[in-house]
């Protein structure tokens, strides 16, 4: 068999290279999860709580998934994680640049399929993006900013 012929793909060019989710597009560090959870906006779906955190940079959007043991056994938990990452990978254009999205699976709630995960997150993200663009959400001070100003004596 020739070097350029058929056979198994080489170690340097995997067969699914265009379909992978690179490390820089995943939230992997505990600190990044905590920042997103404390500063992000929570969106509640049927099977997940989604946290969307705009980092304010131009780096690619990232996805993080948390599935506790209360959701199911290891096989179920990993299947749910794969489905969430696959929805992210296939629909990257729906996720704004510079955004971290954290999916927290609800206890004892297992989505029935990949389509159920997709049908849950995409409408929530669209609604979040529309709310973020609305004129009444821009330029005003949030409750936290008002509270901080009050405590500074302003």
pLDDT tens-digit readout, 4-33: 455 555 455 455 556 778 888 999 999 999
Pairing assessment for the beta strands 99-105 and 62-66 based on DSSP bridges: parallel
Q: How much is the pLDDT for 14?
A: 53
For position 70, which CATH number holds?
Answer: 3.30.230.10
Structural domains counted in the chain? 1
Strands (E), the chain: 41-44, 48-54, 62-66, 99-105
Burial of residue 124 (number of CB atoms within 10 Å: 0-12, 13-18, 19+)? middle
25 within domain boundaries: no
Residue-wise pLDDT tens digits, 67-115:
999 988 999 999 999 999 999 998 888 888 889 999 999 887 788 888 9
Q: How much is the pLDDT for 129?
A: 77
Q: Is the pLDDT of residue 147 over 60?
A: no
What's the rounded mean pLDDT across residues 127-154?
Answer: 53
Q: How much is the pLDDT for 154?
A: 46
Domain range for 77 is 44-134
20 within domain boundaries: no
Burial of residue 129 (number of CB atoms within 10 Å: 0-12, 13-18, 19+)? middle
105 within domain boundaries: yes
Q: How much is the pLDDT for 110?
A: 84
Burial call 10-23: b when 16+ CB within 10 Å, e when fewer: eeeeeeeeeeeeee
- The first and second tokens of residue 90, run together, are 């296939």
3-state secondary structure (DSSP) of residue 48 = strand
């Amino acid at each position: 068999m020739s070097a350029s012929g058929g056979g198994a793909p080489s170690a340097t060019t995997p067969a699914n290279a265009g379909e992978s989710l690179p490390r820089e597009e995943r939230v992997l560090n505990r600190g990044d999860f905590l920042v997103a959870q404390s500063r992000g906006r929570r969106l509640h779906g049927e099977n997940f709580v989604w946290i969307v955190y705009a980092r304010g940079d131009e780096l690619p959007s990232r996805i993080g998934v948390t599935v506790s043991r209360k959701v199911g056994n290891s096989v179920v938990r990993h299947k749910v994680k794969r489905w969430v990452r696959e929805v992210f990978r296939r629909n990257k254009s729906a996720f704004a640049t510079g955004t971290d999205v954290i999916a927290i699976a609800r206890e004892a709630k297992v989505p029935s399929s990949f389509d159920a995960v997709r049908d849950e997150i995409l409408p929530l993200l669209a609604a979040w993006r529309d709310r973020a663009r609305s004129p009444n959400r821009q330029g005003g001070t949030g409750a936290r900013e008002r509270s901080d100003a009050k405590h500074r004596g302003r």
